[in-house]
A = this chain, B = another copy of it.
């Protein structure tokens, strides 16, 4: 069948659904508290399932509570094209983080229904359990189990602060499904999400074509000098651990700028000892967070950090403990999925730029088992994980339009591949 150039979504309906969902767990300051597998999460899931059933979808729930709402394709044996994200929130979260990707997916299905358009491959909307990791650590655990990063046993045994497991809580709210977790072929996965950063809004772009997800290296560094009286100790005889730490903060910033615009480099935490105003600091502990979409550059940043740290420490005469405590490889999203998103942008005419995700998403795990792409829309001032998180109806509609085009393109391509 010919490509549907003039497909539309219903932006008003999408926004209304976002607002309706936001009532579940609404907080006084305009945000949402809907922690994973709570009664409120159940209410949100129930509402989503009801909407999907009204849209004619078949619901499947897997053993870790991931929900799949399926709209059949012309050839229902083809691997489905899946859209999705999560419905759980941070304790003081916003109305869009996760929810947007789920309800944009639902709006795609509703719009296909409105147009009586049948895609070649089936189309699904997925809700991934416990993406935020606020109630049960780690984050993205259920998409991780789906992708084979964690085993099911591990996922179900995650406990909250009260000692309740994900398995118990899934059963309690009625979302411990029968379907196996993962193990089936997915034609493509698309996740629409608010950017959670300031770039799109600042540059006046409506759509972020997400090409990569940053890799991360986290470090803990302790510099030890000589605690001494700030009065009688001459400048040239000092071993000031804070001076060393200050130079490392400047170095980390310099490395981030050098490998920009895609590099991020942050010293977020610092503890000074003894932290007394007239004592030269004898010991400083601090952390470094490096991110880059290119693993080779991340390795260069690592190299420069290590070299600079040695130089800073030996320049002042400090002892150093230096440890990389975490490494997470960068993810390059699938070329054909990124192209499908680009096609959607072209067809809809929205302004756009390529963008790299600085945060982790379910899409990162999905990319290990399926061709995957992501679509970002702007959020106001880049603020997220915050009750004041905000986007606009126009941005939300634009991202959903792009999602529709990308999904239809891929779903029909699955048919072309099969024929």
| A interface with B by C-beta (< 8 Å) | 195-199, 202, 214, 216, 218, 228-237, 240, 242-243, 245-247, 249-250, 253, 256-257, 260-261, 263-272, 275-281, 287, 289, 291, 357-359, 382, 384-385
Contacts and interface: CB of A to CB of B under 8 A. Distances in A.
Contacts of A260: 234-236
Q: Tell me the dominant secondary structure on chain A's binding face.
A: mixed
A235 B278 contact: no
A282 B108 CA distance: 39
Given A231-B291, A246-B267, A268-B280, 16 more contacts: A197-B229, A216-B231, A229-B384, A230-B358, A231-B264, A231-B358, A234-B260, A235-B263, A242-B270, A245-B249, A246-B246, A250-B250, A268-B272, A270-B275, A271-B275, A277-B287
Nearest to A249: B246
Contact of A229 (B196, B233, B272): B196
Contact of A277 (B232, B233, B237, B289): B289
A323 B384 CA distance: 34
Given A230-B289, A246-B245, A218 B277 contact: yes
Contacts of A263: 235
Nearest to A235: B256
Contacts of A291: 230-231
A232 B357 contact: yes
A268 B279 contact: yes
Contacts of A240: 253, 266
B278 A237 contact: no
